[in-house]
Homo-oligomer: A and B are copies of this chain.
Amino acid sequence: MGRMPTSSTTATDDIAHSGAERLADTAVAGDLAFLLARANAVSIAAANAALAEHGLKVRQYSVLALAADQSRPSQRELAEFLRLDPSQIVALIDELEARGFVVREPDPTDRRAKVVAATAAGRRMYAKARRTVVASEVECFGVLNDQERCVLTDLLRRLAFPAR
């Protein structure tokens, strides 16, 4: 299924409208790729709505989260992990850096590489943003119980990081 649009609707908006319901019995509606795409669209809409109050987009939030971790990722690692082109990472970090949330530090072991690290302000922003994202995920994924979310996490992890 295609990349679905990031709607600006809030997580509480009604999402399956009457028109779409009539199509819910088609073969497409049972297709795993389609359901994955639509579920993702719902999830992104919820996360974007939650992050808007912090002036963050979901993409920047992901980078900030990885920078706020102790993992000290290089830009190349971020690109691979987030499945973005390295050239896209540049702008993403430029903006986070301009807002004082992350810094580029030289990698002592490879002078070509730059490590992305969160500043104190970045960690604070991440903590704040994370709370609203978690809240939005409760709305979004709360239709599943704890065990179901565990099962889903396991299944998705295997799809997201297929063994080579």
Contacts and interface: CB of A to CB of B under 8 A. Distances in A.
B40 A40 contact: yes
Copies per complex of this chain: 2
A126 to B, nearest CB: 10
A162 B69 CA distance: 32
Interface in A15-37: 15-17, 19-20, 22-37
B162 A16 contact: yes
Contact of A15 (B42, B82, B133, B162): B162
Interface residues of A, number: 79
A57 B2 CA distance: 8
A26 B78 CA distance: 12
A123 B36 CA distance: 25
A148 interface: yes
Nearest to A34: B62
B15 A161 contact: yes
6 tightest CB-CB pairs across the interface, nearest first?
A: A2-B59, A38-B160, A35-B156, A39-B159, A20-B81, A20-B80
